[in-house]
Each structure stands twice: as structure tokens, then as C-alpha cells.
A and B are shown apart, each in its own frame.
Chain A
């Protein structure tokens, strides 16, 4: 089946620094990638949707200048949390859809645990 990886799986950073999270589709071309945020014991909240080569579409309430998303290729999307603060600590999950399984099927990465001190 389709595989999506995320790197790093876990990151701890100091307040004020920026952190980049990578999401890769390993065996298919991801025309669309999604970024979610999950707080402890809560559901996944969609942050943004990105199509390869286009600007990301952010959900209401998500600061696009704080959460920079780049989807430069069909296999890679990155989420950069700029000037991170403790309240940005969360579990970030990406998913991808594309040539595998149809456009309506999303394949999820294992997630990245971000802790901001």
C-alpha cells in the first residue's frame, strides 16, 4: 500500500526558533497533501491543504505566516513552524492523496511530536 513518511518523528526546540517538518510520499505521487494538528486526546484538526506547485489553502483560524507550507514536488511537502512558542506544542500529522488509491483516499504519515520549551 501507499506509504507516507514524516521526519522528524519527534522534535524539541526552544521558544522562538523555527522547526521544519517533512512529509514524503514514498511510493506514489501526491498531488495533494494535508497537514493536521492533534492535541492530546483530541481529534485531528485540518490546518491546510496544499496542491503541488500551488500555494496552500489554510483553514480558518490557522496563521499562514506562522505555519509555512511548501509543496514543491509530488513527493514532498514541508511544514515550518516559525518562531515556535509553547502553545505550538502538538502532534502534527500529514497525509497525502494522489495517484495511489484515487484522489479520495488519504494516506497518513506517522506524525511528528513537537515540544516547544
Chain B
């Protein structure tokens, strides 16, 4: 079965600074990898996804993520954080295990300070 680890429960960055959120996955084959963002009181919004091909994936809102098979990682990055980026970020891994199933990491809460 697949699993996802997000080592950082919360991260604080200054507005304008760069951001990297860590995600490690466990799965026997090449997984489907996702990053979602959840703002307070809001539903989940897909930032980006990786299925195959180029390991550097561009997403919405200026986010990107890089799939590194050797490290079983799919870290999310943004070069310059805006105050509106403060939210909860979830890494997720999907796989076909008798039907497509997505498992979420515990999430990383991002705080942005002025």
C-alpha cells in the first residue's frame, strides 16, 4: 500500500522568501503524486500533479514540484511567497489498488509573516 510523509507540521516564512515543503512517499511502483492546498473553511484545490514525464512539474499560483525517484520525494517549491499562500498543504499519492485510491499526508501548515 502507498503512504505519504510530510515531515514538517508547520513552517513559517517571510513574505517574499522562497518556500520548500517536503514530501516523501512509499510505493512499489511509480506513483501518481499530487499537491493540494486547503485554505481555512475551503475545499481542497489541486496545485499540481505528476504522473509521468518531466520530473519538474509546474502548477498553479507559481508553485512547482520535483519528483525524485532516488529519494522517493516530491517537494513543493515557490520562489517568492505571498501572504495569501498561508494555508494547509497536503501531499498525496495515488495508485491503482483495485481501483484508484489517493492517500494524503498529514499536511503542512504554512504561516507567512510580513
Per-residue 0/1 for A84-117: is the Cβ within 8 Å of any B Cβ (1 yes, 0 no)?
0000000001010100000111111111000000
Asked if B74 is at the interface of the complex by the 8 Å CB criterion, the answer is no
Sort chain B's interface into a size bin: 20 to 34
Contact of A93 among B43, B100, B109 (CB under 8 A): B43
Residue B106 CB within 8 A of the other chain:
yes
Q: Are A105 and B43 in contact (CB under 8 A)?
A: no
B99 with A105: CB separation less than 8 A:
no
Complex CA–CA separation, A51 to B51 (angstroms): 23
Known: A93-B44, A105-B46, A111-B43. A43 touches B104 (CB 8 A): yes
Q: Do the beta carbons of A44 and B104 come within 8 Å of each other?
A: yes
Main secondary structure of the interface of A (DSSP, over half): strand
Nearest CB in chain B: distance from A92 CB, A = 12
Q: Mark B28-65, 1 if CB is under 8 A from A, else 0.
A: 00001000100000111110010100000000000000
The number of residues on chain A lying at the interface, defined by a beta carbon within 8 Å of a beta carbon of chain B, is 24
Whether the Cβ atoms of B100 and A97 lie closer than 8 Å is: yes
B44 to chain A, nearest CB (A): 4
Question: Which residues of B have CB within 8 Å of A57?
Answer: 98-99
Cα separation A49 to B99 with both chains bound (whole Å): 9
Q: A104-B94, A108-B43 are in contact. Are A51 and B99 (CB under 8 A)?
A: yes
- Which residues of chain A are near B32, meaning CB under 8 Å? 104
Residues of B within 8 A of A95 (CB): 44, 102
Residue among B43, B98, B106, B107 making CB contact with A110, cutoff 8 Å: B43
A residues at B contact (CB < 8 Å)? 32, 34, 36, 41-46, 49, 51, 57, 93, 95, 97, 103-111
A-B contact pairs, 23 of them (CB 8 A): A32-B100, A34-B102, A36-B104, A42-B107, A43-B90, A43-B104, A43-B107, A44-B90, A44-B104, A45-B104, A46-B103, A46-B104, A49-B101, A57-B98, A57-B99, A93-B43, A95-B102, A103-B100, A104-B32, A104-B49, A107-B46, A108-B36, A109-B43
